[in-house]
Structure 1
């Protein structure tokens, strides 16, 4: 299937997000996404003179590896992955899922073991490469958003391929406001939270690392947080569903 949205998204990821240029080595991590999108990324990278390396991943296979891998297995795998990452200038990951609960029966300690083994790879990628990561729109995501699959896909591709450069002036203004702010108050249903962000600073995110993007983030001074916070939207993390979370 020749979907023009794939090409446009690939151009955004290889251009604005990672600024690929001639001779750049880029690792394309494709997790359960259509082959056509992976092909679009390869072609877009080559059009910019970059050298693409592709890794294809499956959620079911990853589950099986995680369930049975020993500490020695994980260490060996991490060494291979780290060596490959050290040879890359850029990294693009597009992560889909045929079943968002694929890892729901994987013991938490197994997932922690994988994350611990792979941390050096993650650290190298974050600190040493130009990287961007995004989710792939699926029927499961549309269902969570209570939208039709087609409507959700259209919405998702629009926000993923928007002109992020035009967002920069507004983000700078918000950064300036946050940088001079001391107290923050958040109110809502079952939510009354106050904290300080004085001296923390702010970081604008305009399409360079995560897509879709557009946030300006900071964090509270640890000892300043008071009140309660409620989350009214369900979410799934590592195959586990969370809903009606309330922090006091």
Structure 2
């Protein structure tokens, strides 16, 4: 049976996230279980007199293609991707994950090789085309969220279709404040971290790149990070989920990293030089996302959270750090997660997950929900 909420989501993606125009070519990629949404996207694209294309993918096949691939395979894939991306105007990637451990057996060096060789086409897409990324409700995602499928389906549609116009307006004062800020201090359980964000732009996120959305991000001055941060949510990366990750910094570099899988954690952080520096600092703001589910597209938007990301910096908030890694790790500061504080230039701006200065109080969940 057709779900009218998928029609609403398709409209949001094409008219808000991508602002598709007549005759623009838009590529939809997703696994077979995402076809109900792809069908609505095709119909909406036709209604907008755009030109839709579809590419179906499969995680099991992708695992086999990567596991024993030669470098030549990735080089050719990069060439094919580049030709494809040059020929489109917009891109929608729909993730229909059924098994979050599907890629866990792929040797990390294979991922590193693929990331390095295919970076040019990936960067070209991100830098030159309109794109948006979202998850589709699957039984695998529902299990990860510890919810029934029906409940998770309703939840996902709900968090994806928040009022992004109101959110965008409420984010502007936070962006303005971050643009003026030099020193940031983060305090939480087993966390005391300082860094500078001076002269690095802050960027509002309100449904233009990710769905669900809700964050404002920037990056630290590369060599300014000092202290320790301990994350209190699962940290998934390429099929492996890490718990109790703690990072200690000296002059921007991670000099100590521990977790329940410390050896595997440090292997990822040794991928390249930039993986031990931070590429993003962001504050999560989606009022309908409150608990971690081990999926970063959701967890990085949790109300009352922040994420502090080893690896590549975004071009919109550049700090000079380059890496094939970009690993969002989330710290929740609400009281039930141990509380915490954020200071901008020695002024307390958020305590226990709630903004405490007047110009930012519109971002608190009761005002965005």
Same fold (TM over 0.5): yes
Aligned to 1:7: 7
Q: What is the CA–CA distance in structure 2 between the aligned matches of 1:144 and 1:185, rounded to whole Å? A: 32
Unaligned runs of 5+ in 2: 249-369
SS at match of 1:81: helix
SS at match of 2:118: helix
Aligned to 1:100: 100
Structure 1, residues 208-231: CA drift from partner, whole Å, max 9, x if none?
111111111012122322221111
Aligned to 1:204: 204
Structure 1, residues 59-88: CA drift from partner, whole Å, max 9, x if none?
000011112322222222221221111000
Q: What is the CA–CA distance in structure 2 between the aligned matches of 1:30 and 1:152, rounded to whole Å? A: 19
Aligned to 1:69: 69
Greater alpha carbon shift after TM alignment, 102-111 vs 156-165: 156-165
How many angstroms does 1:32 deviate by? 4.9
| Counterparts in 2 of 1:144 and 1:98: CA distance versus 1, 3 Å | closer
Structure 1, residues 133-178: CA drift from partner, whole Å, max 9, x if none?
1122333333333333332322221121122122221111111111
SS at match of 2:33: coil
Larger RCO (alpha carbons 8 Å, 6+ apart): 1
CA RMSD of aligned residues (A): 1.5
Aligned to 1:147: 147
Q: What is the CA–CA distance in structure 2 between the aligned matches of 1:30 and 1:99, rounded to whole Å? A: 15
Aligned to 2:128: 128
Q: Which has the higher helix share?
A: 1
SS at match of 1:224: coil
Give the conservation status (yes or no) of the 8 Å contact 1:32–1:59.
Answer: no
Q: What is the CA–CA distance in structure 2 between the aligned matches of 1:179 and 1:34, rounded to whole Å? A: 39
TM-score by length of 2: 0.64
Q: What is the CA–CA distance in structure 2 between the aligned matches of 1:65 and 1:139, rounded to whole Å? A: 24
Q: What is the CA–CA distance in structure 2 between the aligned matches of 1:48 and 1:93, rounded to whole Å? A: 19
Unaligned runs of 5+ in 1: none
Greater alpha carbon shift after TM alignment, 120-129 vs 137-146: 137-146
Give the conservation status (yes or no) of the 8 Å contact 2:97–2:141.
Answer: no
How many angstroms does 1:202 deviate by? 0.5
Q: What is the CA–CA distance in structure 1 between the aligned matches of 2:57 and 2:202, rounded to whole Å? A: 34
Aligned to 1:224: 224
How many angstroms does 1:188 deviate by? 1.4
Give the conservation status (yes or no) of the 8 Å contact 1:229–1:246.
Answer: yes
Give the conservation status (yes or no) of the 8 Å contact 2:34–2:94.
Answer: no
List structure 1 segments (4+ residues) > 4 angstroms apart after TM superposition. Answer: none
The yes-or-no answer on 1:48 pairing with 2:52 is: no
Aligned to 1:195: 195
SS at match of 2:100: coil
Q: What is the CA–CA distance in structure 1 between the aligned matches of 2:137 and 2:210, rounded to whole Å? A: 14
SS at match of 1:146: coil
Give the conservation status (yes or no) of the 8 Å contact 1:33–1:94.
Answer: no
Greater alpha carbon shift after TM alignment, 165-174 vs 8-17: 165-174
Q: What is the CA–CA distance in structure 1 between the aligned matches of 2:33 and 2:20, rounded to whole Å? A: 22
Q: What is the CA–CA distance in structure 2 between the aligned matches of 1:73 and 1:222, rounded to whole Å? A: 34
How many angstroms does 1:96 deviate by? 1.6
